[in-house]
Amino acid sequence: MTRSLLALAGLLLLPACATLDENQCRRADWHALGQQDGSAGYARERLAEHDEACREYAIRPDAGAYLAGREMGLRQYCQPANAVREGLAGRNYRGVCPAASHAMFGELHRAAYDVHAARSRVDGLHRKSERLERELRDDKTGREQRARIRDELRDTDRQLSRARDELRWKESDLDRVSARWLR
């Protein structure tokens, strides 16, 4: 593909990055949108992104209504169970919770995110082990290649064992942190 076609394709994708389209900008309930963004854990800068998207249509967000709604949404977002849910899903915490709940949310989220990362590592090593075992069973695999695969499989199995131990430790840490904050 030529550079000019790549540049054109890139320009065509730019509008898809806007947070709101013209109709959404014109009909926006800024309080409700702020509440929605707050409950999704968006940072305050999300308002600037909406402002930029709507500026093209000469529409300015109602910042007061948006920020009041966002604060309501953050009260929903900054709950202990949500910190765990967000972390286990592998979503980043943007540090948006008010000071009163920031430490709790951050600690729970970190512990849950660590479990997510450990599970991902176990899953990846398990898939690698299965792939190596398939290669080992393949009739087309030569003798020298089988020896290399066996060595790699042993190493992968050791890594998998350590990763499972780490996962259990991370799950235990999440239980400990949860017990502290979810009493």
pLDDT, tens digit, for every residue of 128-164?
999 999 999 999 989 999 999 999 999 999 999 999 9
Average pLDDT value for the chain:
91
Give the 3-state secondary structure of residue 121.
helix
What does the pLDDT read at residue 17? 63
pLDDT band for position 13 (50/70/90)? very low
Whether residue 98 has pLDDT greater than 50: yes
Instruction: Kindly give, in sequence order, each residue whose CB lies less than 8 Å from that of residue 43, ignoring residues fewer than 6 positions away.
Output: 94, 95, 96
Closest CA to 174 of 117, 129, 97, 136: 117
**Mean pLDDT, to the nearest integer, of 71-75?**
97
Higher-pLDDT residue of 181, 37: 37
Sequence length of the chain is 183
Whether residue 70 has pLDDT greater than 60: yes
Instruction: Kindly give, in sequence order, each residue whose CB lies less than 8 Å from that of residue 108, ignoring residues fewer than 6 positions away.
Output: 80, 83, 84, 87, 177, 178, 181
Between CA 128 and CA 36 the distance in angstroms is: 40
What is the helix, strand, coil percentage profile of the chain, to 5?
A: 80, 0, 20
| Positive or negative torsion for Cα 27, 30, 31, 37 | positive
What does the pLDDT read at residue 7? 40
What does the pLDDT read at residue 134? 95
Whether residue 59 has pLDDT greater than 70: yes
